[in-house]
Amino acid sequence: MRRNRNTSLDTAVTDFILLGLAHPPNLRTFLFLVFFLIYILTQLGNLLILLTVWADPKLHARPMYILLGVLSFLDMWLSSVIVPRIILNFTPASKVIPFGGCVAQLYFFHFLGSTQCFLYTLMAYDRYLAICQPLRYPVLMNGKLCTILVAGAWVAGSIHGSIQASLTFRLPYCGPKQVDYFFCDIPAVLRLACADTTVNELVTFVDIGVVAASCFMLILLSYANIVLAILKIRTADGRRRAFSTCGSHLTVVTVYYVPCIFIYLRAGSKSPLDGAVAVFYTVITPLLNPLIYTLRNQDVKSALKRLRAGRRNVGGEK
């Protein structure tokens, strides 16, 4: 996208205005309550998963649930980067965000989002080893290796977020400063740049496309092998348990990747659907993750029952 603006760079903006989600004025209070409730439930649900994994010895000794705990931690922070600004949009408070705040929001969103992308891939790899290589699983995926892989995902996510933030904000911004979106994200911010953004759009497409496509293909490859291995299980109960364990992860991956692909692999799109789709993977997906894993995962449900039983026993002894 070419921009030939003659505006002097000495009028560079020092802040932006987030226009937020378009909404009828009469629904402002209702939407405020809805998003506030979603935020609270997201934090509480993911905190419950995190505490359950940490408190139950049977869970925090298994790599799968270490990864699940990290996912819950990521969801809590990702929600906190986005949702409070959405809630603020439904109040009379100022919608101005400082330039540095916009940089930080874009960085942390892509840092946490890409780390989550890598984490989903690690979770698929863990399930592949557990089902396709059960005898070698304790050697191929132990606690130490799991910690190293998770640390690598965090480092790679940080690098990805730094690249996107530095490329976006190396451009001059000299007005207008109204971001037609509910948070500082690359497509919305680039529209305000006082320079040619073609290279940025190409790098964004390639970088995010390569990261998302590579992770997604690895996940699909893992699950193709998993399905073949499950079909070889002789007992119906064994097949059911294997599908149940993998079904939770596959559901989460689907609701995460499809909206991301819709947003970032359509360069220059100004579709009115973009905002609604972005709300889904930035607001709804972090809420759904603990629900999916608690409702579909028998191990987590059993751990919750053990914790409740333990509390009742402690209360009875008192």
**Separation in Å, CA 216 to CA 117, 123, 129, 208, 212:** 9, 12, 17, 12, 6
Bridge partners of 98, per DSSP, are 15
> pTM of this prediction?
0.85
Give the least confident one: 187-196, 202-211, 283-292: 202-211
Neighbour order of strands in the sheet with 15-18: 96-98, 15-18, 178-179
Are 165 and 225 in contact by the 8 Å Cβ rule? The answer is no
Three-state secondary structure call for residue 16: strand
Query: pLDDT tens digits for 17-50?
Result: 998 888 888 889 999 999 999 999 999 999 988 8
- Say how far apart CA 209 and CA 125 lie, in whole Å: 20
Task: Identify the band that residue 7 occupies on the pLDDT scale cut at 50, 70 and 90.
Answer: very low
Percent of the chain clearing pLDDT 90 (strictly above): 28
Q: Where are the alpha helices (DSSP H) in the chain?
A: 28-55, 57-60, 63-89, 99-132, 137-140, 143-169, 186-190, 198-231, 236-264, 273-279, 285-296, 298-317
By CB atoms closer than 10 A (0-12, 13-18, 19+), residue 309 is: exposed
- Residues 220-230, mean pLDDT to the nearest whole number: 84
Query: pLDDT tens digits for 112-154?
Result: 999 998 999 998 898 888 888 888 888 888 888 899 999 999 9
Dihedral Cα 211, 212, 213, 219, nearest 10 deg: 110
Three-state secondary structure call for residue 187: helix
What's the confidence (pLDDT) of residue 154? 96
Q: Which residue type, as a one-letter code, is found at position 270?
A: K
What's the confidence (pLDDT) of residue 275? 72
Q: Which residue type, as a one-letter code, is found at position 232?
A: K
What's the confidence (pLDDT) of residue 161? 92
Q: Does the pLDDT at position 216 exceed 70?
A: yes
Q: Does the pLDDT at position 2 exceed 50?
A: no
Q: Does the pLDDT at position 93 exceed 50?
A: yes
What's the confidence (pLDDT) of residue 1? 46
Q: Does the pLDDT at position 261 exceed 60?
A: yes
Task: Identify the band that residue 299 occupies on the pLDDT scale cut at 50, 70 and 90.
Answer: confident
- Residues 282-293, mean pLDDT to the nearest whole number: 83
Q: Which residue type, as a one-letter code, is found at position 155?
A: V
Find where tokens 């226009």 sit: 19
Radius of gyration, alpha carbons of the chain = 22
Q: Does the pLDDT at position 58 exceed 90?
A: no
Straight-line distance from the first to the last Cα atom of the chain, in angstroms, rounded to the nearest whole number:
69
- Say how far apart CA 25 and CA 90 lie, in whole Å: 9
